[in-house]
Amino acid sequence: MKRIANERAYVEHMLEKKEINEKRPGKDINSLIKYYYELDNTLSKEELLDKVSDTLLAIIEDEKAVKRWQVSIKGYINDFMSYADTFKGLSHVEFIEITENEINRIKALKNHKLEYTAFALLVYLKIKNSITGKTDNVYCPSGEEDVKNIKKISGLKVTLKEFTLLMKKLQDLGYTNNGIGGAVNCKLNYMDINSKVIITVKDFSAESISLYYQAWREEKKLHKWSVPYLPVDPMDVGRTYDSDVIRINSQSGKGGVAYILKQNFALSIPEKMREEVGYAVKHVSDEEHKELSPPWVYEIFEENYH
């Protein structure tokens, strides 16, 4: 994320530390091309090629590798020169601001994952706006790469598929519209730049952005997320309030088996014996591919211990 928000600082760090992604150097090469062109926009394609190649050689000290990259470097230079006339310089975003109304809309989701997804999406859009000079709430995703970036700054430990579903949920709730994650414009309906600023994001490292929202929640003592609670009468789903609420299958633990035997048959299984009994019962459930009724659990117990 630092590269997107502050590409100039990223390149300067790369040059100072002599670090480059040798396995996937494409993005670093692109950044170097823009860096040298920003310093001198009179450079020809050939001069850019020499500058970038010399820099790469100084960093990795591998002449063969740099020679292998020549075709790719030329390709990146050609692509860049096709839009060089509109190039406004390397990105240099110092901070972005999140307002009270925006945070209140995010907080209203009352769901940990959705809140962090919405916060990350808003920050990402505002970074993009700072780079392009826009102020509107229309975001144009470029596909999977954008979704990966937003997922990364959300701080959520979920798969890309799960994160895409979270973004789709925001759309279903009316927070966004017009195809989150696709190649069309998407509007953030909770963006509101006209209210009081309450969070200022200055550190754009991927692991730090979500911490701004976390710190705000802790400051407001919002340590717990509200979870929807739906009262259900067990009779409505064919159950009772009694012990049959505990159901036994191949995934059940030793405690569930012991509870069934005690509640239904007054058998109190010693603590040291519970694991062994649990395994015997779960083995049958696994073999039969069925959920076991209390009488069946008792039958298994009798077969093994009588």
Q: How far is CA 147 from CA 31, 41, 52, 112, 270, in A?
A: 21, 33, 30, 18, 52
Which tens digit of pLDDT belongs to each residue from 180-215? 444 445 678 899 888 999 999 988 887 888 999 999
Q: Model pTM greater than 0.85? A: no
Query: Are 248 and 256 contacting, i.e. CB atoms less than 8 angstroms apart?
Result: yes
Span of 33-47, 66-80, 184-198 with lowest mean pLDDT: 184-198
Here the tokens at position 52 are 């970038």
Instruction: Report the chain's mean pLDDT, rounded to a whole number.
Output: 83
Strands 96-99 and 138-139: unpaired
Average pLDDT rounded to a whole number, residues 89-97 = 86
For residues 175 and 273, give the distance between their C-alpha atoms in angstroms, rounded to a whole number.
53
pLDDT of residue 253: 64
Task: Say how many Å lie between the first and final Cα of the chain, rounded.
Answer: 65
Greater confidence, 246 or 75? 75
What is the per-residue pLDDT for 180?
Answer: 47
**Domain ranges (residues) in the chain:** 2-86, 96-219, 236-305
Q: What is the pLDDT of residues 217-238, one digit of tens each?
A: 888 877 665 555 556 666 666 6
Q: What is the pLDDT of residues 130-160, one digit of tens each?
A: 877 777 777 655 567 788 888 989 999 888 8
- Measured CA to CA, the distance from residue 174 to residue 156 in angstroms comes to 22
Residues facing 248 on adjacent strands: 292
Q: Percent of the chain at pLDDT above 90? A: 29
> What is the largest distance, in Å, between two alpha-carbon atoms of the chain?
93
Mean pLDDT for the stretch of residues 94-104: 92
The pLDDT-based confidence of 24 (bands split at 50, 70, 90) is: confident
What does the pLDDT read at residue 148?
A: 85
User: Is pLDDT above 90 for 97?
Assistant: yes
Q: What pLDDT does 1 receive?
A: 64
